[in-house]
Amino acid sequence: MKFTLSWLKDHLETEATAAEIAEALTDLGLEVESLSDPAAALAPFTLAKVLHAEKHPDADRLRVCRVLTDEGEKQIVCGAPNARAGITVVLAKPGSHIPGLGTTIGVGRIRGVESFGMMASEREMGLSDEHEGIIELPHGEVGERFVDWLRAHRPAAVDPVIEIKVTPNRPDALGVRGIARDLAARGLGRLKPLPPRDDPARGRTARPRHPRSRARGRLPPLRRPPDPRRAQRPLAGLDAGAAACHRAAAHLAAGGCHQLSHP
């Protein structure tokens, strides 16, 4: 079972860190198999601006770029088709470990031209499978940490992911709310109440209930509070090509689930 810290905080009001939550889960008998923090892997990267780009003298598909960094202007050879003057990019300096490639880069010589680092794509940063070009940011200051920019504009990209091992006797831990309930009972926070059943945020409206007539010898139906563990509902008229709920898709993608559409 994988879930993100922000997903858990949708149900649990807590100031605990991901590491503290992982320790508490282990104490509760929910063994933590992994705890990944994308922010740690992205910490070395900063923002830079391309000042000038020209064709490589010895390669048609390469460009020699002059890039403004927090350490001054640097020369970087880039093969991305969108490398051009004026864009804000993500800079990997020599000595940086590239999470999406699993390698550490250094100062290189590409077709006789020195390159002092690289401008990264989303796949090289481990953010997505996109690798048609380098990352272009709509704004950002030269020298700003990329991880800080993501926290402000794409927080899901740096959301810690916790994976637990669920045993057959703990089906309640197959849902994020069940995990949040356990942590609240452990004293690690407060369980947030669910929205009312007729709240549009829950995506459904409560069906009105009408008591049966006693005149026919029938008792009114038993009125019980809604069970938040139930998740059964008939669905019809679905559009397989429609865009998924961005928030739900982001939570599931961070947990390792990928969206598939079947016509």
In tens, the pLDDT along 44-80 reads 999 999 999 999 999 989 999 999 999 999 999 999 9
Q: Which domain holds residue 101?
A: 43-153
In a domain, 55, yes or no: yes
Q: What is the pLDDT of residues 4-30, one digit of tens each?
A: 998 999 999 999 999 999 999 999 999
Per-residue pLDDT, 214: 46
How many structural domains comprise the chain? 2
Cβ(131)–Cβ(122) under 8 Å?
A: yes
Same-domain status, 49 and 146: yes
Report the CATH number that the domain containing residue 121 is assigned in CATH.
2.40.50.140
In a domain, 32, yes or no: yes
Strand order in the sheet with 88-92: 72-78, 59-69, 46-56, 88-92, 118-119
Report the CATH number that the domain containing residue 171 is assigned in CATH.
3.30.56.10
In a domain, 132, yes or no: yes
Q: What is the pLDDT of residues 102-130, one digit of tens each?
A: 999 999 999 999 999 999 999 999 988 88
Crossing angle, helix 18-27 and helix 176-186, to 10 degrees? Answer: 80
Same-domain status, 91 and 181: no
Same-domain status, 73 and 134: yes
Same-domain status, 137 and 104: yes
Same-domain status, 135 and 92: yes
Per-residue pLDDT, 153: 93
Same-domain status, 86 and 149: yes
Judged by DSSP in three states, 113 sits in strand
In a domain, 204, yes or no: no
